[in-house]
Amino acid sequence: MLNRINIEKPDDYFVNLSNRKSKGVYFCRINGYNREIHDFIKKYHEEARLGGVIIEGRLQNPDNNNLEYYNEMMGMDFRMDSEFIRSRLKKWLPRMNDTQCTNVASSVYETLLRLKQSGKNENMLKNTYIKFMCWLYYKFERIVNRLGDDKLPKILYEGDISSYEFLLMQVLSLAGCDILFLQYHGDAEYKKLDSASVISQELRLNGMVPFPDGFSLKRIREEIKETANMQRLFGDKPKYANCTNAWISGNIFNDVRKKPSERGDTREFFYNCFCRMIGVEDKSAYLNELYQLQLELRNSGRNVVILNNMIQPPDSDEINRIHRGSQQSFEHMAAELTANFSFIGNAELKKTAKKVFLELLIEEKNKDDNNLNKLMNKAVYVICLFKRYYKKFFSGWQMPDVSCLLYLGGCKTDNEVLFIKFLSRLPVDVIILEPDLSRKCDFSDAVLFETNNQYSLDVSEYPEDSSGLRVGTAAYHAERELDELLYQDSGIYRQNQYDKANSVILQTMYEEISILWDQELKYRPNFSTADGIVTIPVICSKVSGVKDSDKNAYWVEIKKLITPDTLLVKKIPHILPSAINPIKPYATNFFRNGKVQKKEIRRHECYQYSILRESMQEHLLDKLQMLIDSRIIKGTLENGVEYLIVATVLNLEKDIVRLIQKFDFTKKNPKLIFVMTGENVLSLEDTILTAFLSLVGFDIVFYVPTGYQCIEKFFAKQLVEEHQAGEFLYDMQIPDFNKISSNTRRKLRDIIFKRGT
Instruction: Give the Cα separation of 398 and 680 in Å (integer).
Output: 60
Least confident residue range of 17-31, 229-243, 449-463: 229-243
Pairing of strands 528-530, 533-538: antiparallel
How many other C-beta atoms can be found within 10 angstroms of the C-beta atom of residue 201?
Answer: 19
CB environment 480-494: b (16+ within 10 A), e (fewer):
eeeeeeeeeeeeebe
Q: CA 466 from chain center: how many Å?
A: 45
pLDDT of residue 732: 94
pLDDT band at 342 (very low <50, low <70, confident <90, very high): confident
CA dihedral 458, 464, 468, 469 (to 10 degrees): 80
Pairing of strands 428-434, 274-278: parallel
Q: CA 83, 87, 89 angle in degrees (round to 5)?
A: 115
Longest CA span, the chain:
103
Q: How far apart are the first and last CA of the chain?
A: 64
pLDDT, tens digit, for every residue of 161-179? 999 999 999 999 999 999 9
φ and ψ at residue 203, rounded to 5 degrees:
-90, 110
The pLDDT mean for the chain works out to: 89
From the number of C-beta atoms within 10 Å of its C-beta (0-12, 13-18, 19+), residue 591 rates as: buried
User: Taking the model in full, what pTM does it have?
Assistant: 0.42
Name the strand (E) or helix (H) holding 202: strand 201-202
Helix-then-strand count for the chain, H and E: 25, 22
Secondary structure percentages of the chain, helix, strand, coil, to 5: 45, 15, 40
Cβ atoms of 403 and 389 within 8 Å: the answer is no
Identify the DSSP state of 755. Answer: T
Instruction: Give the Cα separation of 238 and 506 in Å (integer).
Output: 59
- Rg over CA atoms, the chain: 32
pLDDT of residue 368: 67
Q: CA 264 from chain center: how many Å?
A: 23
- Taking phi over 0 as left and psi of -120 to 50 as alpha, with beta for the rest, 753 belongs to alpha
Instruction: Give the Cα separation of 190 and 188 in Å (integer).
Output: 6
Check whether 586 has a pLDDT greater than 60.
yes
pLDDT of residue 747: 47
Cross-strand partners of 673: 568, 701
pLDDT of residue 332: 80
Cβ atoms of 682 and 573 within 8 Å: the answer is yes
Cβ atoms of 37 and 51 within 8 Å: the answer is no
Cβ atoms of 162 and 135 within 8 Å: the answer is no
pLDDT band at 489 (very low <50, low <70, confident <90, very high): low
pLDDT band at 366 (very low <50, low <70, confident <90, very high): confident
Higher pLDDT, 199 or 283: 199
Peptide bond preceding 400 in cis form (omega within 30 of 0): yes
User: What number of residues does the chain have?
Assistant: 757
pLDDT, tens digit, for every residue of 245-295? 999 999 999 999 999 999 998 888 999 999 999 999 888 788 888 988 999
Instruction: Give the Cα separation of 466 and 444 in Å (integer).
Output: 33
Could you give the count of Cα atoms lying within 13 Å of 268 in the half-sphere of its Cβ? 4
Instruction: Give the Cα separation of 455 and 688 in Å (integer).
Output: 39
Three-state helix/strand/coil letters over 676-700: CCCCCCCCHHHHHHHHHHHHHCCEE
Instruction: Give the Cα separation of 184 and 214 in Å (integer).
Output: 10
* Single-letter residue type at 334: A
pLDDT, tens digit, for every residue of 623-653? 999 999 999 999 999 989 999 999 999 999 9
Least confident residue range of 325-329, 352-356, 457-461: 325-329
φ and ψ at residue 533, rounded to 5 degrees:
-120, 135
Three-state helix/strand/coil letters over 549-577: HCHHHHHHHHHHHCCCCEEEECCCCCCCC
Cross-strand partners of 569: 674
Across the range 3-30, mean pLDDT stands at 94
pLDDT of residue 455: 85
Across the range 142-165, mean pLDDT stands at 94
Across the range 437-448, mean pLDDT stands at 83
Contacts of residue 595, defined as CB under 8 A and 6 or more positions apart, other chains included, come to 625
